[in-house]
Amino acid sequence: MSTETPDRNLAVVGAGVMGTNIAVLALGHGVPVTLVDLDETVLAGARRTIGLKLRHGQLMGKLAAERVLHPKTGLVTTVSLADTAGATAVVEAVTEIPETKTKVLSEVSQIVRPGTLTISNTSCIPIDEMADAVARPEDLVGVHFMNPAYLIEMVEVIRGPRTAAATMTAVTDLLGALGRRGLVVNDAPGFVINTVLHPMINTAARLVQNGVASVEVVDGLMEGCLGHSTGPLRTADLIGLDNLVDSLNVLYARTGDESCRPCDFLLEKVRAGHFGRKTGEGFYDYGKVAS
């Protein structure tokens, strides 16, 4: 039997990989979700995916069956951003393109009540840069959920220069209700995780491009010698190579660091539509993607 958390109602904008994973995390902890996307077909697929991931989370021992809200009762899907109005917190989880994120956050800020916790699940874009577009910059904070969000308990919390103390308290309370532990960092392009991770992935791809080692050897050395649970190129496939290129472009534009300029091998993969696990092929071949 589900145990709902009636005083919380999370809205998630964007029904892609991260949006669906965040929805699973919330439903798995008894928090109702309103999931918003522009495309009804995407939302229909998200419903199926969320059901599968809720079962996966329970099988992995990460979600307690007695707390899980079934998608039929706990999940509302909609193409109208206006349906975020009653949410106690909103998570923006759209693609890592600055113009797209700022447009969504600006519109959300005009809809929700003042003081509503507004979260960007940004990978690299500085929070204060996006805060310029919202009605109340003090309500905006960054939370960089790791993929898959319903399995990984640590998150990176980004405090912008204008983020209010009350917002930091609210995001800490929400993360606690979702069983997540947040470590707070100050605002900067890429924050901590992706300032370290994305250039490393790009360098690993460049090593393959230059014939220094195969994909499997690069990952094997990072796993076997440095103790990484997953090598950088397999991690890239999990992130999504298209998302990775978007994030690297953000980092390169804001830092000028050449290690962040996407290498040709990575760009070729994206041009070919080989985005990683979600398309069935990236640096590795995962077989046909289930429909």
Looking at the fold, whether 200 and 61 belong to one and the same domain comes out as: no
pLDDT value, residue 3: 47
What whole-number distance in Å separates Cα of residue 4 and Cα of residue 192?
A: 34
Pair of tokens at residue 59 = 């099988």
Task: For residues 126 and 200, state if they share a domain.
Answer: no
Q: Tokens at residue 163, please?
A: 């983020």
38 and 149 share a domain?
A: yes
> 134, 153, 186 — which closes off a domain?
186
Q: Residue 23 belongs to a domain with what CATH number? A: 3.40.50.720
Residue 268 domain boundaries: 195-278
pLDDT digits (tens, 9 = 90+) for 25-76: 999 999 999 999 999 999 999 999 999 999 999 999 999 999 999 999 999 9
- Do 257 and 199 lie in one domain? The reply is yes
Q: What is the pLDDT of residues 122-157, one digit of tens each?
A: 999 999 999 999 999 999 999 999 999 999 999 999
Average per-residue pLDDT for the chain: 95
pLDDT at 4: 47
pLDDT, mean of residues 215-243:
97
Residues 87 and 126 occupy one common structural domain: yes
Question: How many structural domains are present in the chain?
Answer: 2
Which of 154, 186, 218 corresponds to the end of one domain? 186
3 part of a folded domain: no
Last residue of a domain, one of 186, 217, 238: 186
Q: Which residues contact 41 (CB under 8 A, 6 or more apart)?
A: none
Which of 29, 70, 144, 274 is an active site residue? 144
Note whether residue 68 is domain-resident.
yes
pLDDT for 259-288, tens place per residue? 999 999 999 999 999 999 999 999 999 986
User: Strands across the sheet with 140-144, in order?
Assistant: 75-78, 33-36, 10-13, 89-92, 117-120, 140-144, 154-159, 181-186
Active site residue 144: yes
Greatest C-alpha distance within the chain: 56
* pTM given for the model: 0.91
Is 177 found in the same domain as 72? yes
Q: Does some domain include residue 225?
A: yes
- CATH code for the domain of 245: 1.10.1040.10
214: which residues sit within 8 A by CB, 6+ positions away? 208
- Contact between 11 and 34 under an 8 Å Cβ cutoff? The reply is yes
My answer on whether 137 and 274 are in the same domain is: no
